[in-house]
Amino acid sequence: MFTPAELLEINTLLKPENKIVILTHYNPDGDAIGSSLGLKHYLKAKGILAEVIVPNDFPKFLKWMPESKKVIIAEYKKKLASDMIAGADVIFCLDFNAPSRIGLLGDWLVKAQGKKILIDHHQQPEQFDYVYSDTVIPATSQMIYHFIEVMDDEKLVDQDVAECLYTGIMTDTGGFRFRSTSAATHRIIANLIEKGADPAMITSNTWDTNTVSRLHLLALILGRIEVVNEGTVAVLSLTRNELKEYGFQKGDTEGFVNYGLSIAGVKMAAFFMEDLYENFIKISFRSKDDVDVNQFSRKYFSGGGHINAAGGKSYDSLAGTIENFKQYIGKEEFLNMK
């Protein structure tokens, strides 16, 4: 948490006459949007206006959240977004650890003069004016709740705040399943339900929204899942042509990598997908126990994230990338795969 002295300073920054923006990471997920909108609604309840700016568009299954339609998507509104960041007195940076994680917003953030406040749970955060970083907490949305607690503002948590934070915690814990889900997480979830978050509505709006194209893509990928490294590593992949053929939409492949990890004996799953427009492979890693995919992705695929969930990139061909990947896992002792 921020120190008491930092909290005093942050408190003086949070006043109605200050311009406040909230930024989050490229390809925003449930926690990115949930924490950003949750903070926005909390500030609104305090009488302070803030705008959420994201680098690129986010999936439809997150667009039911209160004021999700007002999120400024920088790839469509470059001038507005860059002017707002340049003119901001306070810039909240949520659910990312480095300017390189926010696409075109990164340069604008680095040049901006406003006070930069980081709230994030990824490994190895870079420099910001105020940093609340905790890699043990399963979701940035949970950290927003802790921030509201230390500000002594739990009374300001209304239904909008509750729905957004609930969604962020639910999605980043994989439905309250992943390792860092704690008693504190569940206590906060209980509070959010009391404040008006409806678990059935939120789950159904977020997760029961499969498109036929997504299910067909899933069938395709499951049909050729490969298990290597003596049954410990699952490999999944999709080509650009397949994405086109199935009418891929943003978010359609969310969660696919988890099917690899659900195989008995598998400790690491990797999902390789050709980008629809640009020439690179987007990689998602998931793992169990102390198999550190953050370190692995940083070392080999210019990526990072968390110990058990990380992402990365490759500029090789799909087949070449997968071939290299298989070589790397064979030789890395720190993966503790045995």
- Nearest position to Mn ion, beta carbon: 31
- Among residues 254, 284, 268, the alpha carbon closest in space to that of 31 is found at 254
In the set 40, 41, 101, 115, which binds ligand 5GP (CB under 6 A)? 101
Report if residue 254 touches Mn ion, rule: CB under 5 A.
no
State the virtual CA torsion across 287, 289, 295, 296 in degrees, nearest 10.
-40
Report if residue 125 touches ligand 5GP, rule: CB under 6 A.
no
Please check whether residue 137 is in contact with residue 319, taking contact to mean a CB–CB distance below 8 angstroms.
no
Binding part of the chain for ligand 5GP, among 8-16, 129-137, 234-242, 300-308 by CB under 6 A, reads 300-308
- 30 contacts which partner out of Mn ion, ligand 5GP, none, CB within 5 to 8 A by kind? none
Q: Give the sheet arrangement for strand 268-274, strand by strand.
A: 226-228, 233-238, 268-274, 281-287, 309-314, 304-305
| Token pair for 289 | 């126990």
Report if residue 25 touches ligand 5GP, rule: CB under 6 A.
yes
- 101 contacts which partner out of Mn ion, ligand 5GP, none, CB within 5 to 8 A by kind? ligand 5GP
| Token pair for 141 | 């949305």
In the set 172, 254, 274, 292, which binds Mn ion (CB under 5 A)? 172
In the set 235, 311, 321, 329, which binds ligand 5GP (CB under 6 A)? 311
Cα distances (Å, whole numbers) of residue 278 to 61, 240, 281: 24, 10, 9
Report if residue 95 touches Mn ion, rule: CB under 5 A.
yes
Residue 70 is classified by DSSP as G
Burial of 199-221, coded b for 16+ CB within 10 Å and e otherwise, reads eeebeebbeeeebeebeebbeeb
Residue 193 beta carbon to ligand 5GP: minimum distance, rounded to whole angstroms: 25
Residues that bind Mn ion (CB under 5 A): 31, 95, 140, 172
Residues that bind ligand 5GP (CB under 6 A): 25, 101, 284, 303-306, 309-313
